[in-house]
Structure 1
């Protein structure tokens, strides 16, 4: 007769020490590039919906995919991928490494206890830091993804040169404030939900169980983060896609008010479905790959 669940001793998995920053960089870069290569076409579709005023061209995700492939070729689904890949290592190192550093800082210097509230606070802090790194690559990516620029920029280097020549150096900082709103809210939601889900899921008895729990927690965290930050992402895309003066969209909160007034509150969630389809599973992929690579590093390199 098999033992009842009450009599089975569960040996907890050992608590793992935080990775040094250079290993966070490596693990974060591998996780981030894996997520980008897997989910990037959905990011292109999301951008097309966010830029679109009204519903004239793209009716659904499938319709958008079909029209991009038919009219622009399969390669258009990966247009603009180079800037996010180039910034992926520092971006993901900040997402995970700075999140851990902020956690230690707040616990040591301010006496905060490990909790879901602390996870939200450290996520927001890491997101604000991350935004400074990614704002300019995001602007270049948006310009390359925008259909109206298909014949204007031949690639990343050409886009950088033309933006510099035609719009000036300061253009590369356009959308920084909106990027800070976007990343602070997403990271706060992401790490806050991960903390909550991990605390309530059954304790894993195996490494495979840990990876499964991480995927569930990361996917739910990515979904909630996306629900919170999509309005900021919409206006960030609008701000960064502008090429002609005077600019219609400048600062985040006034831009949100303008979009809501002119197009309705629903317009602030344009591109939500492809975004959540990317960042929900993408958040799970990110956390699972990061955890897997981190485990490999601890076992073989430390």
Structure 2
């Protein structure tokens, strides 16, 4: 008598779709961004100090760590942790959840064949739209973080810093850096997702069989592709990142608009000044992006969110 394959008789779990699916994408993205950005707060503190005061903090990343610790104590390296974790939790939800959603919308609109043939354009467009909405959520918390890092005595934390800015300067001050943050984050995210997708596609087409790859191999692919994507994203967005730090350091002069301030800052910085701290930021963003894609990939499996669009 033939043996019965018990595993084959087990019901196949239904694949989740719609709001259930995209809310899980969003949660996975929120956790991955909050963990990685929050964990690298000390590096971000040093990078921001190098951008805001390059004459003092001119000894590189390791030297910058030593300077901050010697001057303010080790606890200063965690300045801005609250707004960083909270801001990037929200941003990650919109960014990753939105990216998956807009990719699906592109397939529904264009058809799978056309979307696949033009997948680089789909990656770029989907990531740009997702980042726009993510930045609306991120901007107020990023403004608070930069103020706390640039002025350590300004407030004791997220809530007090946020409240003080609104009370003294109005809600508009929280969005003074919205232009620069878009200029920074949209190209950053476009490069991040498009490069990561292309690197993953290359690896699975030439080096690894995706169908038989173990979970560990898939995590390694996400890590490696994330590092490369992070380097590309850091270089592209560095000038805007420097301007964002500058514009959020202090409030503008009476009657001075955001555009006027940005033009003035750009002239003061010049090309060389715009790339101050780029080496430190490449290390930071490479680590952040690698961590995000590996955590995001693992959490999607944990949450059962496996119904995303694969255009490759």
Shorter chain as denominator, the TM-score bin is: 0.7 to 0.9
The 1:28–1:57 alpha-carbon spacing in structure 2 relative to 1, beyond 3 Å, is closer
Q: TM-score, normalization: structure 2?
A: 0.82
The 1:173–1:75 alpha-carbon spacing in structure 2 relative to 1, beyond 3 Å, is same
In structure 1, what is the equivalent of residue 296 of structure 2?
290
| Structure 2 unpaired stretches of 5+ | 1-14, 306-312
In structure 2, what is the equivalent of residue 216 of structure 1?
224
In structure 2, what is the equivalent of residue 157 of structure 1?
159
In structure 1, what is the equivalent of residue 3 of structure 2?
none
In structure 2, what is the equivalent of residue 126 of structure 1?
130
Post-superposition offset of 1:17: 7.5
Structure 1 residue 190 and structure 2 residue 192: aligned?
yes
Post-superposition offset of 1:41: 1.0
Matches within 5 A, 1:205-244: 205-244=213-252
Count of residues in Structure 1 that have an aligned counterpart in Structure 2: 279
Post-superposition offset of 1:98: 0.3
User: What is the rounded CA distance, in whole Å, between the counterparts of 1:80 and 1:108 in structure 2?
Assistant: 41
In structure 2, what is the equivalent of residue 180 of structure 1?
182
Given that 2:26 and 2:98 are in contact with CA atoms closer than 8 Å, whether structure 1 keeps it comes out as no
* 1:170 aligned to which of 156, 169, 172: 172
In structure 2, what is the equivalent of residue 245 of structure 1?
253
Given that 2:94 and 2:133 are in contact with CA atoms closer than 8 Å, whether structure 1 keeps it comes out as yes
Secondary structure at the residue paired with 1:251?
helix
User: What is the rounded CA distance, in whole Å, between the counterparts of 1:24 and 1:121 in structure 2?
Assistant: 18
| Structure 1 unpaired stretches of 5+ | 1-15
User: What is the rounded CA distance, in whole Å, between the counterparts of 1:249 and 1:226 in structure 2?
Assistant: 28
User: What is the rounded CA distance, in whole Å, between the counterparts of 1:37 and 1:264 in structure 2?
Assistant: 30
Matches within 5 A, 1:87-98: 87-98=87-98
The 1:273–1:246 alpha-carbon spacing in structure 2 relative to 1, beyond 3 Å, is farther
In structure 2, what is the equivalent of residue 5 of structure 1?
none
**1:35-57 deviation line (CA, Å, top 9, x unaligned):** 124322111111111212x5344
Given that 2:50 and 2:57 are in contact with CA atoms closer than 8 Å, whether structure 1 keeps it comes out as no
Q: TM-score, normalization: structure 1?
A: 0.85
Matches within 5 A, 1:197-208: 197-201=199-203, 202-203=207-208, 204=210, 205-208=213-216
Secondary structure at the residue paired with 2:218?
helix
User: What is the rounded CA distance, in whole Å, between the counterparts of 2:190 and 2:21 in structure 1?
Assistant: 23
